[in-house]
A and B are shown apart, each in its own frame.
Chain A
Amino acid sequence: MAHREEQARRHGAERVVVVGHGMAGTRFVQELRARDRERRFDVTVIGAEPDAAYNRVLLSSVLAGKLTPTDVEMVPSAWYAAEDVDLRLGVAVEHIDRKRQRILTDQGEYIGYDHLVLATGSRAWVPPIEGAVDGDELDRDVAVFRTLQDCRAIMDRVDRGADEAAGGIRRVVVLGGGLLGLEAARGLAGRGVEVEVVHAVDRLMERQLDAEAGRVLAGTLRSLGVQVRLEAQVRAYDEVAGQRVVVLDDGTRIAADLLIVACGVRPNTGLARAAKLAVERGVVVNERMTSVSDPRIHAIGECAQYDGQVYGLVAPAWEQAGVLADTLTGGGSVYSGSRLVTRLKAQDIDLAAMGETDVDDVAEGSVAGVARNGARAADRVEVLRFADPIRGTYQKLVIRNDRVTGAIMLGGAETVGTVTQLFDRVALAPADRRALIFPGIADAGLNTAPADLADDDLVCRCNTVTAGQIRHACADGAGTVAEVAMCTRATTGCGGCRDDVVGIVAAATSADRTAGDGDGADDALSVPDRPDDVDANLVEVPA
Chain B
Amino acid sequence: MQGIYRSGNMTDVDGKSAAHTIANMAAETPVVDARLQNGAVETHCAYCALQCGMSLTVDGGESSVEVAPLDFPTNRGGLCQKGWTSADLLRSPRRLTSPMIRDSRSEPFREVSWDVALDVVADGIRSTQAKHGNDAVAVFGGGGLTNEKAYQLGKFARVALRTSNIDYNGRYCMSSAAAASNRAFGIDRGLPFPLPDLAESGAVLVMGGNVAETMPPFMQHLNAVRDAGGDVIVADPRRTATADQATLHLQLMPGTDLALALGLLHIVVADGHVDRDYITSRTTGFDDVWRVATQWWPERVERVTGVPVAAQRATVRALATGRAGRGAVVLTARGAEQHSKGTDTVTALINLSLALGLPGRPHSGYGCITGQGNGQGGREHGQKADQLPGYRKIDDPAARAHVAGVWGVPPETLPGPGRSAFELIESLGTEHGPRSLLVHGSNLVVSSPRSHRVADRLAALDQLVVCDLFMSETAALADVVLPVTQWAEEDGTMTNLEGRVIRRRAAVQPPPGVRTELEVMADLAARLGRADGFSADPRVVFDELRRASAGGVADYSGITWERIDSEDGVFWPCPSEDAPGRSRLFTDGMFPTPDGRARLVAVDHRAIAEEVDTDYPVYLTTGRILQHYQSGAQTRRVPALTDAAAEPYVDIHPDLAARHGMANGDLVRIVSRRGDAVGKARLTTAIRADTVFMPFHWGGEQAINRVTNAALDPTSKMPEFKVCAVQLERVDSQPAMEPSGAVVAGQA
Contact = CB atoms under 8 A, between A and B. Distances in A.
Interface stretch (A107-115, A375-383, A479-487): A479-487
Given A431-B658, A493-B217, A412 B644 contact: no
Contacts of B223: 494-496
Interface string B66-91: 00111100000111110010000000
B417 interface: no
B245 to A, nearest CB: 6
Interface string A488-515: 1100111110000000000000000000
Given A442-B654, A489-B81, A542-B26, 17 more contacts: A55-B294, A67-B270, A73-B291, A74-B291, A421-B303, A431-B658, A462-B80, A463-B80, A472-B7, A473-B5, A482-B28, A488-B5, A488-B7, A495-B219, A542-B28, A543-B71, A543-B77
Nearest to A55: B294
A350 B294 contact: no
Interface of B: 1, 3-7, 9, 22-23, 26-31, 68-71, 77-81, 84, 212-213, 216-220, 223, 241, 245, 253, 269-272, 287, 290-291, 294-295, 297, 299-300, 302-303, 305-311, 626-627, 640, 644-645, 654-655, 658-659, 685, 689-690
A202 interface: no
Given A486-B27, A494-B217, A58 B291 contact: no
Contacts of B253: 421
A493 B4 contact: no
Contacts of A414: 308, 310-311
Nearest to A23: B295
Interface in A41-64: 55, 57-58, 61
A461 B302 contact: no
Interface in A435-456: 440, 442-443
A493 B79 contact: yes
Contact of B216 (A55, A58, A352, A494): A494
A469 B299 contact: no
B294 A74 contact: yes
Contact of A416 (B4, B31, B69, B308): B308
Given A315-B300, A486-B27, A495-B78, A461 B307 contact: no
A419 B626 CA distance: 32
A421 B259 CA distance: 15
Interface stretch (A165-173, A212-220, A422-430): A422-430
A543 B655 contact: no
A504 B22 CA distance: 21
A135 interface: no
A222 interface: no
Contact of B270 (A61, A418, A494): A61
Contacts, number: 179
B306 A417 contact: yes
Given A461-B212, A462-B81, A58 B308 contact: no
B68 A483 contact: no
B307 A417 contact: yes
Contacts of B71: 543
Contacts of B241: 461
A476 interface: yes
A58 B655 contact: no
A5 B108 CA distance: 74
A473 B6 CA distance: 8
User: What 3 pairs between A and B have smallest CB-CB spacing?
Assistant: A494-B219, A543-B77, A486-B26
Contacts of B6: 472, 476
A462 B626 contact: yes
Contacts of A345: 297, 299
Interface of A: 55, 57-58, 61, 66-67, 71-76, 315, 341, 343, 345, 350, 352, 412-418, 420-421, 424-425, 427-428, 430-431, 440, 442-443, 461-464, 469, 472-473, 476-478, 482-483, 485-489, 492-496, 542-543
Contact of B218 (A443, A473, A494): A494
Contacts of A75: 291
A420 B291 contact: no
Given A55-B295, A67-B269, A494-B223, A420 B212 contact: no
22 contacts: A57-B300, A67-B269, A74-B291, A74-B294, A416-B308, A420-B302, A424-B303, A428-B655, A442-B654, A442-B685, A443-B685, A461-B213, A464-B645, A472-B6, A486-B27, A488-B7, A489-B84, A494-B217, A494-B218, A495-B78, A496-B219, A543-B77
B216 A462 contact: yes
B303 A420 contact: yes
Nearest to B28: A542
A6 B627 CA distance: 70
Contacts of B311: 414, 417
Contacts of A57: 297, 300
Contact of B69 (A428, A430, A478, A492): A492
Contacts of A425: 690
Contacts of B22: 486-487, 489
Contacts of A341: 303
Contact of A343 (B220, B271, B302): B302
B619 to A, nearest CB: 11
Given A427-B690, A463-B84, A487-B23, A543 B271 contact: no
Contacts of B303: 315, 341, 420-421, 424
Contacts of A462: 78-81, 216-217, 626
B655 A430 contact: yes
Contacts of A478: 1, 4
Contacts of A543: 31, 68-71, 77-78
